[in-house]
Amino acid sequence: MLIHGLADDNVVAAHTLRLSTALLEAGRPHQVLPLTGVTHMASGEQVAENLLLLQVDFLREALGS
């Protein structure tokens, strides 16, 4: 799971897209979640909590548990 805040001033969105392309070329399943107006760290408490829940769900599904 690739999560990228589109207002991130540390990592440009193009890098995340390049990684996604490389994963696709390698046949590796993944998800990309772009977040409008979010910087390198999710600042809102509710957004951060929901992101953690999404990550846990993704890992459970990916690991088959």
pLDDT tens sequence across 1-54: 999 999 999 999 999 999 999 999 999 999 999 999 899 988 889 989 999 999
11 within 8 A of 59, measured Cβ to Cβ: no
Of 32-36, 54-58, 61-65, which range is least confident?
61-65
Question: Which of helix, strand or coil describes residue 17?
Answer: helix
25 three-class SS: helix
- What pLDDT is attached to residue 58? 93
Q: What is the model's pTM? A: 0.84
**Which residue range forms the structural domain that includes residue 14?**
2-63
Count of domains for the chain: 1
